[in-house]
C-alpha cells in the first residue's frame, strides 16, 4: 500500500486560488508536488496566477476551471468536469470568500450573496465532489472560516438576513456556518477515510474587501498595513492540508495550526445538524438529497 501511495501524485482542488490565501496555498502545495486545480471566476486573473504558481513551484501540473461560485448550476457543472477529468481527489480547499456591500444583494438563484459564496458554495462543491474524494485513500476537506464567526448568529428564521441585513453580520454568520458545516460533515464522514477541518487564517492583507463599499470593507482596507502577509496567512490552511496524524481531530476548528474552541453555537451538535438540513432544503433544486453521498456514509 505504501508503494502505491508513493507513486500517486496527490491532487488538490482549491477555490479562489488566484488571490490572497488561496494563491499561496496553491503555490505551496504545487511546490510539494501536488497537481493543482484552481477554481476561479475570472480568466485573466486565473491565467496570471497559474503562470506565477508554475514559475514559483517549477511544477507544470497547475490548471484552472472557471466557475462563479455564486451560481449553484455552475458549481454542479464544474464538479462534473472535475469528476470526469480526475481519477481521484486527495484534497479540497474551500477558500473563496467575499465581504459584500452595505446593501443586501441577492444572486441570480435568489440567495443573499455572502450566504451563497461563503456557505452554500462550500456545501455544494463538497457534496458534488464527495464521490471522487471517496476514491482516494486519505482525503481532506479544508474549510477557510474566520474568527469573525464569533460575531455570527445562527437564526433559523433569518439565515439569509432578509431582516436586519448588515455586511458584518452576513460575513460573521457565513464564517460561523463554515465551522458548523465542518463539524457536521466530520460526523457524517466518520470512518470513511475523509476528514475535514476549519480554520482562521489570521488578519491577512488580501483583496477580500476590495469590492465592498461597506464600512467594514473600508476599515479592512485601511488596516492592511498591520496585517499578516498572504504567505503567513496561508500557513494554517497548508498545515491542515498536509500535516500527518491529525485525523482524530476531524471536525475541529484551528488557528495558528492549533485546535481551538469556536463559539458556543459552533459546538452545538443539534444546531449544526439543523443548519445542514436547512441548507439541503434550500439547495433542494440543486441537491438530490436522497442520493446524497453524505447520507449513510457513517
Ligand X SMILES: NC(=O)c1ccc[n+]([C@@H]2O[C@H](COP(=O)([O-])OP(=O)(O)OC[C@H]3O[C@@H](n4cnc5c(N)ncnc54)[C@H](OP(=O)(O)O)[C@@H]3O)[C@@H](O)[C@H]2O)c1
Instruction: Give the residue among 29, 32, 1 at the shortest CA–CA distance from 14.
Output: 29
Q: Is 45 in the site for ligand X (CB under 6 A)?
A: yes
Q: Is 65 in the site for ligand X (CB under 6 A)?
A: no
The least distance separating ligand X from the CB of residue 203, rounded to whole angstroms, comes to 4
Contacts of 146 (CB under 8 A, 6+ apart): 171, 175, 178, 200, 201
Rule CB under 6 A: choose which of 11, 12, 37, 69 binds ligand X.
69
Q: Is 146 in the site for ligand X (CB under 6 A)?
A: yes
**Distance from C-alpha of 294 to C-alpha of 278, rounded to nearest angstrom:** 15
3-state secondary structure of 194: strand
**Distance from C-alpha of 189 to C-alpha of 250, rounded to nearest angstrom:** 9
Q: Would you call 122 a catalytic residue per the annotation?
A: no
Rule CB under 6 A: choose which of 83, 158, 192, 207 binds ligand X.
207
User: Bridge partners of 254?
Assistant: 199, 259
Half-sphere exposure of 298 (CA within 13 A, CB side): 7
Rule CB under 6 A: choose which of 57, 59, 78, 95 binds ligand X.
95
Q: Is 152 in the site for ligand X (CB under 6 A)?
A: no
The least distance separating ligand X from the CB of residue 185, rounded to whole angstroms, comes to 16
Burial of 6 (0-12, 13-18, 19+ CB in 10 A): exposed
Contacts of 120 (CB under 8 A, 6+ apart): 72, 111, 279, 282, 283
Rule CB under 6 A: choose which of 126, 167, 206, 236 binds ligand X.
206
Contacts of 219 (CB under 8 A, 6+ apart): none
| Cβ proximity to ligand X, 41 vs 188, nearer residue | 41
3-state secondary structure of 142: strand
The grid coordinates of residue 108 equal: 441570480
Provide the mask over 165-204, with x wherever binding to ligand X is found by CB under 6 A and - wherever it is not.
-----------------------------------xx-xx
Which candidate in 34, 64, 122, 171 is catalytic? 171
Rule CB under 6 A: choose which of 117, 120, 125, 130 binds ligand X.
117
Provide the mask over 209-248, with x wherever binding to ligand X is found by CB under 6 A and - wherever it is not.
----------------------------------------
Given the rule CB under 6 A, which residues bind ligand X? 16, 18-22, 40-42, 45, 68-70, 95-98, 117, 144, 146, 200-201, 203-204, 206-208
Catalytic residues: 171
Amino acid at each position: 500500500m505504501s508503494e502505491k501511495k508513493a507513486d500517486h501524485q496527490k491532487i488538490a482542488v482549491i477555490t479562489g486560488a488566484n488571490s490572497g490565501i488561496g494563491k499561496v496555498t496553491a503555490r505551496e502545495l504545487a511546490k510539494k508536488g501536488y497537481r493543482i486545480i484552481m477554481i476561479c471566476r475570472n480568466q485573466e486573473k486565473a491565467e496570471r496566477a497559474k503562470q506565477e504558481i508554475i514559475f514559483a513551484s517549477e511544477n507544470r501540473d497547475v490548471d484552472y476551471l472557471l466557475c462563479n461560485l455564486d451560481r449553484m448550476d455552475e458549481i454542479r457543472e464544474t464538479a462534473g468536469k472535475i469528476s470526469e477529468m480526475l481519477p481521484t481527489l486527495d484534497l479540497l480547499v474551500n477558500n473563496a470568500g467575499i465581504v459584500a456591500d452595505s446593501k443586501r444583494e441577492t444572486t441570480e438563484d435568489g440567495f443573499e450573496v455572502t450566504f451563497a459564496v461563503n456557505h452554500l458554495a462550500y456545501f455544494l462543491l463538497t457534496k458534488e465532489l464527495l464521490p471522487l474524494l471517496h476514491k482516494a485513500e486519505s482525503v481532506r476537506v479544508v474549510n477557510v472560516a474566520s474568527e469573525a464567526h464569533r460575531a455570527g448568529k445562527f437564526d433559523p428564521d433569518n439565515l439569509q438576513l432578509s431582516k436586519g441585513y448588515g455586511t458584518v453580520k452576513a460575513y460573521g454568520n457565513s464564517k460561523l456556518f463554515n465551522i458548523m458545516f465542518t463539524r457536521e460533515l466530520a460526523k457524517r464522514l466518520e470512518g470513511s477515510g475523509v476528514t475535514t477541518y476549519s480554520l482562521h487564517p489570521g488578519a491577512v492583507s488580501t483583496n477580500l474587501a476590495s469590492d465592498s463599499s461597506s464600512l467594514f470593507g473600508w476599515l479592512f482596507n485601511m488596516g492592511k498595513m498591520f496585517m499578516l502577509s498572504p504567505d503567513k496567512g496561508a500557513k494554517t490552511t497548508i498545515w491542515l492540508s498536509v500535516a500527518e496524524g491529525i485525523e482524530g481531530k476531524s471536525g475541529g476548528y484551528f488557528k495558528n495550526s492549533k485546535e481551538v474552541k469556536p463559539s458556543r453555537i459552533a459546538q452545538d451538535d443539534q444546531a449544526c445538524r439543523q443548519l445542514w438540513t436547512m441548507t439541503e432544503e434550500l439547495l433542494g433544486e440543486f441537491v438530490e438529497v436522497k442520493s446524497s453521498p453524505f447520507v449513510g456514509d457513517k
